[in-house]
Amino acid sequence: MNSKGGRGNQRGGFDRRRSKPKNTPEVEEQPYDFSFLVTDYITAQTTPMLENVRRKIEEGAEGVPIPSLASEILLASFVKDMRTWFKEEVRKELFTYPQKETLNRWLFDMLATPSESIAGEVGNNLLKYPMRLKDDPDVIARELFLSIPMRIKPSYPDTQRLKSDAIEYRKVSMQFLTRMKTRFEKQAETDEQTRKDLEQLEGDLLAFDPAILHIHVLEARLKTASESATTFVSKYLKSDVHGICNRLADLAMEYSTKKPAFTDDDFEVVLTAEGIEHTVEAKYVVKLPDNLSHSLDLKFKLSSIHFYKLRELYKRTSGKRFDPEMKMFSKLLFILLRRYHTFFGTERFEGTSFHAAAPENIFRRLKSFLEVSQECFASPLNCFFSQFCSAFPEIDVFFGSLGSFFDYDIAEGSFECGPPYTLECMDRTAKHIIRTLDKSENRRPIMFVVFVPEWRVPPAQYHLDLEESAYTRFHFCAPGGKHYYVSGEQHEPKCIASKGALTNEKVGRYYLVPHGTHVYFVCNDAGFKRYAKGSEDYLEKAADDILRVLMDPLDRNDNNMHYARDYVTIGNGELIDWSTKEVKTDQVQEPKLKMGLKG
């Protein structure tokens, strides 16, 4: 992966002669670009271990580590039980339920840790470095603090939702106040600060009564009450929360001692197709163990488009010399699906928000304007290009993965970078990008187009790092509620049958992003000269077109678009005049329209 060639042969995409299953939606072209190899455009290197595996797959050499289906099922069962334990432990100890993605944020925190940054720890592929949680529990503790007594939304454009949440918060906060007064009553008798903190908490919570508050002040008062509770909890329940984190770390470490009571030979993977969907199922050929029979999903439905996409990725990566007869495809496909569903979790929409992606036309524009040819964060399920960085290279490598972005040593190339929306992962991403550009010393061109959420109250560290960096040439924020992303469940048949939010349907391919999405164009001087043609105007025009496609992913209105410079925000989210870099006195976004570029 550390060699760079020319443009290479422009290889074709899917075999269009294949007859489509009945009822499959007509697609004029496959929504992906597999026409080239990333190695024709990118100079980079991943870990020596993964480089060796990739080389063996490409050469068809012996010794390729094949993931175990039995071990994957054991992992899925263990993680599911761990999720249940965590929810019950939080309910029992803290009298609340954690947000459904709290545990996933911890999993991503481990996945975002470079493989060589922690020595002496042995972790599973998904449960990497679990003992770090004992030393640094903030990734879970912060989420739990915000969940007590109840998590509220950052903002409430919907007054009905505001009223219902306010009424519910009043109810649970009174129960919470009673428990805190009972628990810390004796401590308050001897400690003046505890007494004052309890009085402050009681005053703030009792002052919040949605039955008498006007709707115009309800949201502000709700936030005040919530902040008061969070302040109290983070101070007085800190040991309780950290205790849960310690026990969770110990539980996760138990997986390394477990061995499956079955083997890969005990399963038969069966592929079936009907209409617009394929089914991938691992059938236990004898008798499924009791502890798995009623709790674990061994059957996954996949849209036909994604099935053929994954088959094509496998052919290109593993089907040349490693597995030319595709004998291992079904097994590895099941392991791939089982791994991502293990990570996503079992609740509705749990984890899939981390798997959302920019619309396909965004990638086409990025490739056309800025020669972007690789994604820094993707999966075989949601990737646009045939090679990408991903979270689980031990299985993804057979479908084109180049390893973790945080293990990726980049020397040249233009990249799309959309990290999962966790603070830890996005902060590390910003720092990794800046370190990469520092290290380049401008010898070779490097550019990143970074997509991150507009989290501004307070400003997230990744915003501060990217805004203050001299490598950031331009940036803008697509406004919340006015642009679209592709669902993290895009691989499921239900998302193929409907366009979702674009047609006012709740379930489908696209969803309306409620928060702003900030786009940063970050590059060294050589990257600016190569990919942006050395022109700020050219870069802004590319940004204009990217903004337009975010707001209209199907290109339904080709003639009109907005100026990206009208959407530049900094600090706490204030709009600025890009020419003067001064904060605008008028903070209302009323952008002008202009003719769009054709990519």
Give per-residue pLDDT as tens, 159-206: 899 999 999 999 999 999 999 999 999 999 999 999 999 999 999 999
The answer to the question of residue 28 being in a domain is no
**Any alpha helices (H) in 298-422, and if so which ranges?**
304-318, 329-344, 360-370, 393-396
Instruction: Say if residue 224 is in the same domain as residue 181.
Output: yes
For residue 129, pLDDT over 90 is answered with no
Collapsed DSSP state (helix, strand, coil) of residue 26: coil
User: What Å distances lie between residue 218 and 271, 378, 586, CA to CA?
Assistant: 54, 40, 26
For residue 211, pLDDT over 80 is answered with yes
- Interacting residues of 516 by C-beta distance below 8 A, sequence separation 6+: 453, 454, 477, 478, 479, 480, 569, 573
The answer to the question of residue 14 being in a domain is no
The answer to the question of residue 229 being in a domain is yes
Range of the domain at 559: 360-583
Instruction: Say if residue 240 is in the same domain as residue 149.
Output: yes
Amino acid at 115: S
Pairwise pLDDT comparison (10 vs 437), residue with the higher score: 437
pTM: 0.88
What is the number of domains present in the chain?
3
Structural domain ending residue among the three candidates 228, 256, 284: 256
Instruction: Say if residue 199 is in the same domain as residue 113.
Output: yes
Give per-residue pLDDT as tens, 229-248: 999 999 999 999 999 999 99
Instruction: Say if residue 407 is in the same domain as residue 270.
Output: no
Q: Give me the residues paired with residue 301 across strands.
A: 279
Peptide bond just before 98 cis, omega within 30 deg: no
Burial (CB < 10 A; 0-12, 13-18, 19+), residue 285, is exposed
Structural domain ending residue among the three candidates 224, 256, 288: 256
Give per-residue pLDDT as tens, 495-511: 876 777 777 776 778 99
CATH number for the domain spanning 530: value is 3.40.50
Residue 338 CA to residue 69 CA, distance in Å, equals 9
User: What Å distances lie between residue 398 and 4, 12, 77, 286, CA to CA?
Assistant: 21, 20, 24, 29
Instruction: Say if residue 247 is in the same domain as residue 270.
Output: no
Instruction: Say if residue 464 is in the same domain as residue 373.
Output: yes
Q: What integer is the mean pLDDT of 370-381?
A: 96
pLDDT of 11 reads: 33
For residue 297, pLDDT over 70 is answered with yes
User: What Å distances lie between residue 267 and 157, 283, 294, 334, 341, CA to CA?
Assistant: 50, 5, 17, 11, 19
Instruction: Say if residue 202 is in the same domain as residue 323.
Output: no
pLDDT of 294 reads: 53
For residue 555, pLDDT over 60 is answered with yes
Instruction: Say if residue 289 is in the same domain as residue 410.
Output: no
Confidence of residue 431 (pLDDT cuts 50, 70, 90): very high
Tally of CB atoms within 10 A around 487? 24
DSSP 228-297: HHHHHHHHHSHHHHHHHHHHHHHHHHGGGG---SS-GGGEEEEEEEETTEEEEEEEESS---HHHHTT--
The answer to the question of residue 475 being in a domain is yes
pLDDT of 596 reads: 33
For residue 27, pLDDT over 50 is answered with no
Give per-residue pLDDT as tens, 380-414: 999 999 989 999 999 999 999 999 999 999 999 99
The answer to the question of residue 455 being in a domain is yes
Tally of CB atoms within 10 A around 594? 14
Instruction: Say if residue 251 is in the same domain as residue 268.
Output: no
The tokens describing 72, both together, are 């994957």
Structural domain ending residue among the three candidates 256, 274, 294: 256
The answer to the question of residue 418 being in a domain is yes
Instruction: Say if residue 452 is in the same domain as residue 554.
Output: yes
Instruction: Say if residue 467 is in the same domain as residue 565.
Output: yes
Instruction: Say if residue 228 is in the same domain as residue 279.
Output: no
The answer to the question of residue 55 being in a domain is no
Percentage helix, strand, coil for the chain under 3-state DSSP, each rounded to 5:
45, 15, 40
The tokens describing 348, both together, are 């509705």
The answer to the question of residue 26 being in a domain is no
